[in-house]
């Protein structure tokens, strides 16, 4: 570690521009995976025999990528709102991650259509029946649902939560679906634009404006993550609920996107970029944040499990009941060890956090465990919901991989391509020099 103070003179004017040609191998790989994945997905979607199981695969893949987009937005919001400096050199990479909200929204669109979501969300089917009744008897959907619940008391909760869980008012599942991507995209685009303007005119006011904007949008962001998690995952079983759910999903978002950033920064440095601006101190800081969110996730996940386990109320325990049955039990135990204990122990040591090779291996592991976590949240619902007489739907894992390749491959391709459009870091940010010379 040299004590040399890097000043503006030492940096290339105009920042560093990423040339996609240098990364053509990785871009090509992502492009190929994405293209083949989309072709495969089309097959699975269009084939009515595979569509039910594949709907879950698609939701899993979309939600997995969604957590990274949320994480990207979170880190830029936090960075700006807390007036911090260390992350200036990597903030642009997070900004570009958040901007992916729009292509992700397009990829997520299949979930809006009946042939897909009828397999995912049981409540929608009841609502559709109610809507048919309503059309027949010239009443409202809510009233029709109420009539249905008189015959089938299981539907009573759906009447109770009609104001939120519906597809027939202005505040519907579909409206919110669009809004989530819109909000995330708006946040990321606005913040990135402010700093792009700054690169043109050098005015500091953009930094101040970005801070104000971030403070104001933190709360809407929190609501976005929470309700997206409620709508897409909690809604898989309309009886289940947990107040902690949004926080739990958020913890995973922040954790996994920080790991992705570690990998990305290392990859770019390997190509010769960011050599001067990103130091081992930044690795250490990112490692510490990764560690902090390892613990935070464990805290949230444990509290949620623990309170439901202790109180033992049937409508709540069903979530863990499914995930403690047969093979899923081992996945649950694996998550405890792999998602918390292993990264916790490994990240305790400071030298390991400062060693790019080691921290990259950990980051890769973190992303893998996050994948397992999201899988464990989405997929155990599949077999019971589709009426399969086993905890797993046979051969459905092929679809899971195809969907993941399609969504993650496409987004990865778009992400790497988009990096070339601007400098890799905000080269005229007034905190840039402070960030480069950070010591901790």
Residues paired with 423 in a beta bridge: 17
Nearest in space to 377 (alpha carbons), one of 228, 257, 260, 258: 228
Task: Check residue 203 for interaction with another protein (CB under 8 A).
Answer: yes
Q: Is the dihedral of CA 146, 175, 403, 234 positive or negative?
A: negative
Nearer to another protein, 222 or 331 (CB): 222
**305 binds another protein, rule: CB under 8 A:** yes
Site string for another protein, 108-147 (x = CB under 8 A): ----------------------------------------
Nearer to another protein among residue 275 and residue 350 (C-beta): 350
Burial state string for 328-355 with b = 16 or more CB within 10 A and e = fewer than 16: beebbeebeebbbebbeebbeeeeebbb
Q: Which of 299, 327, 329, 390 binds another protein (CB under 8 A)?
A: 299
Please tell me whether residue 276 binds another protein under the rule CB under 8 A. no
The answer to the question of residue 1 lying near another protein (CB under 8 A) is no
In the complex, minimum distance from the CB of residue 64 to another protein, in angstroms, rounded to a whole number: 23
Q: Is 243 in the site for another protein (CB under 8 A)?
A: yes
3-class DSSP state of 164:
coil
- Measured from the CB atom, is 19 or 315 closer to another protein? 315
Q: Which is nearer to another protein, 69 or 230 (CB)?
A: 230
In order of 244, 255, 259, 293, 366, the CA distances from 287 in angstroms are: 26, 10, 8, 10, 12
Question: Cβ(62)–Cβ(181) under 8 Å?
Answer: no
Work out the angle at residue 367's Cα, subtended by the Cα atoms of residues 363 and 368, and round it to the nearest 5 degrees: 115
Distance of CA 73 to the CA centre of its chain: 10
H helical segments located in 47-151:
51-81, 88-99, 101-108, 114-120, 122-137, 141-151
Of residues 241, 267, 376, 397, which one binds another protein by CB under 8 A?
241
Nearer to another protein by Cβ, of 163 and 387: the residue is 163
Interface residue with another protein, options 109, 132, 204, 421 (CB under 8 A): 204
If binding is defined by CB under 8 A, does position 156 make contact with another protein? yes
Q: Are 50 and 400 in contact (CB under 8 A)?
A: no
- Which CB sits closer to another protein, 5 or 25? 5
Two tokens, residue 360: 């990259």
Interface with another protein, residue 244, by CB under 8 A: yes
Q: In angstroms, rounded to a whole number, what is the distance separating the alpha carbons of residues 135 and 142?
A: 12
**Nearer of residues 215 and 388 to another protein, judged by Cβ:** 215
- Size of the residue set binding another protein (CB under 8 A): 58
The yes or no reply on residue 253 touching another protein (CB under 8 A) is no
d(Cα 256, Cα 294) in Å, to the nearest integer?
A: 10
Query: Considering beta carbons, is residue 113 or 302 the nearer one to another protein?
Result: 302
Residue 344 sits in the site that holds another protein (CB under 8 A): no
Q: Give the interface with another protein as residue ranges (CB under 8 A).
A: 5, 7-9, 13, 156-157, 160-161, 163-165, 201-205, 207-208, 215, 218-219, 222-223, 226, 230, 241-247, 288, 295, 299-300, 302-313, 315, 428, 430-434, 437, 440
């Amino acid at each position: 570690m040299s004590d040399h103070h890097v000043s503006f003179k030492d940096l290339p004017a105009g920042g560093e521009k990423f040339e996609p040609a240098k990364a053509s191998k990785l871009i090509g790989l992502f492009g190929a995976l994405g293209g083949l994945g989309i072709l495969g997905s089309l097959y699975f979607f269009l084939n009515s025999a595979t569509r039910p199981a594949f709907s879950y695969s698609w939701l899993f893949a979309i939600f997995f990528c969604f957590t990274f987009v949320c994480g990207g937005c979170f880190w830029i919001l936090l960075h700006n709102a807390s007036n911090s400096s260390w992350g200036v050199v990597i903030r642009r990479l997070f900004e570009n991650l958040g901007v992916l909200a729009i292509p992700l929204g397009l990829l997520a669109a299949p979930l809006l259509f009946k042939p897909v979501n009828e397999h995912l969300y049981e409540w929608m089917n009841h609502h559709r029946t109610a809507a048919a009744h309503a059309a027949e008897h010239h009443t409202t959907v809510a009233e029709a649902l109420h009539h249905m619940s008189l015959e089938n008391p299981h539907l009573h909760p759906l009447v109770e939560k009609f104001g939120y869980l519906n597809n027939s008012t202005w505040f519907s599942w579909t409206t919110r679906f669009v809004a989530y991507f819109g909000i995330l995209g708006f946040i990321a685009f606005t913040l990135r634009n402010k700093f792009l303007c700054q690169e043109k005119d050098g005015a500091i006011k953009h930094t101040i404006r970005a801070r104000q904007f971030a403070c104001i949008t933190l709360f809407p962001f929190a609501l976005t993550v929470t309700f997206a998690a409620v709508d897409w995952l909690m809604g898989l079983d309309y009886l289940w609920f947990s107040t902690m759910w949004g926080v739990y999903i958020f913890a995973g978002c922040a954790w996994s996107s920080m790991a992705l950033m570690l990998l990305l920064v290392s990859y770019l440095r390997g190509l010769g970029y960011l050599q001067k601006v990103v130091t081992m101190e930044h690795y250490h800081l990112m490692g510490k944040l990764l560690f902090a969110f390892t613990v935070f996730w464990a805290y949230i996940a444990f509290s949620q499990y623990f309170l439901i386990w202790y109180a033992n109320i049937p409508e709540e325990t069903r979530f863990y009941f499914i995930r403690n049955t047969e093979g899923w039990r081992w996945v649950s135990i694996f998550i405890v060890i792999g998602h918390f204990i292993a990264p916790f122990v490994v990240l305790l040591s400071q030298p390991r956090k400062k060693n790019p090779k080691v921290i990259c291996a950990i980051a890769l592991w973190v992303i893998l465990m996050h994948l397992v976590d999201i899988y464990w949240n989405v997929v155990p619902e599949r077999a019971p919901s589709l009426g399969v007489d086993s905890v797993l739907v046979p051969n459905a894992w092929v679809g899971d991989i195809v969907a993941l390749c399609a969504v993650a491959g496409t987004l990865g391709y778009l992400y790497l391509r988009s990096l070339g459009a601007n400098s890799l870091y905000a080269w005229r940010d007034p905190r840039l020099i402070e960030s480069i010379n950070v010591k901790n």
